[in-house]
Structure 1
Amino acid sequence: MFLEIITPDEKIFKGEVDHATFPGSEGSFQVLNDHAAMVSSLGKGDLKMVITHDKKTKEVHMGIDGGVVEILNNRVLVLAEHVDR
């Protein structure tokens, strides 16, 4: 699925991921390919994404300070207030 992470200042990430885990305002949740369409608020916490490239899997963690996530047709858009890489 395609994930894009944007803050008011810059684009943080744009690319394909295997799955991602988000710090929802009511608890964390995971998004996989073919996830149902949804919009959710994000709280402060750890955003984790798993990326496979050339048969190597890498887990990337970023701290976010709230925002929203939109999931639609295997595209995930995160509008975050602030991201710590």
Structure 2
Amino acid sequence: MNLEILTPERKLYSGEVYGVQLPGVDGLFEVLEKHAPMVSALKAGKLKVLKDKSQSESASYSIQGGFVEVFNNKVTVLVEGAVPADSSR
């Protein structure tokens, strides 16, 4: 699925991913390929990009509040601000 992470200043991430973990206002949740369409509010926290199924490759970002939209196998994350966290692996 395609993931885009956007801030008011720039596009932080764009590419094909296996999934993404997001800090929703009611708790952490994960979006994988072919997820049902949805819109959700996000709180400040850690966003984790899962680049492959084995989760051996990932990237993390510390985000401020925002929103996520899932539609037609595309995930668009709109946040007030974000900075890369430790991109381990």
Query: Which of the five TM-score ranges fits, normalised by the shorter chain?
Result: over 0.9
Cα displacement (A) at 1:39: 0.1
Runs ≥4 in structure 1, deviation > 2 angstroms?
A: none
Structure 1 length-normalised TM: 0.92
Please list every run of 5 or more consecutive structure 1 residues that lacks an aligned counterpart in the other structure. Answer: none
SS in structure 1 opposite 2:57? strand
SS of equivalent residue, structure 1 residue 49: strand
**How many pairs align?**
83
Q: Which runs of 5+ in 2 are unaligned?
A: 85-89
TM-score after normalising by structure 2: 0.88
Identity %: 44
Higher strand proportion (structure 1 or 2): 1
Paired residue type of 2:50: V
Residue 33 of structure 1 aligns to which amino acid in structure 2?
E
Equivalent-residue separation in structure 2 for 1:57 and 1:18 (angstroms): 11
Question: Per-residue CA shift, 1:1-52, capped at 9, x if unaligned?
Answer: 1000000000000000001100001111000001000000000100001113
Structure 1 residue 74 displacement after superposition: 0.5
C-alpha RMSD of the superposition: 1.5
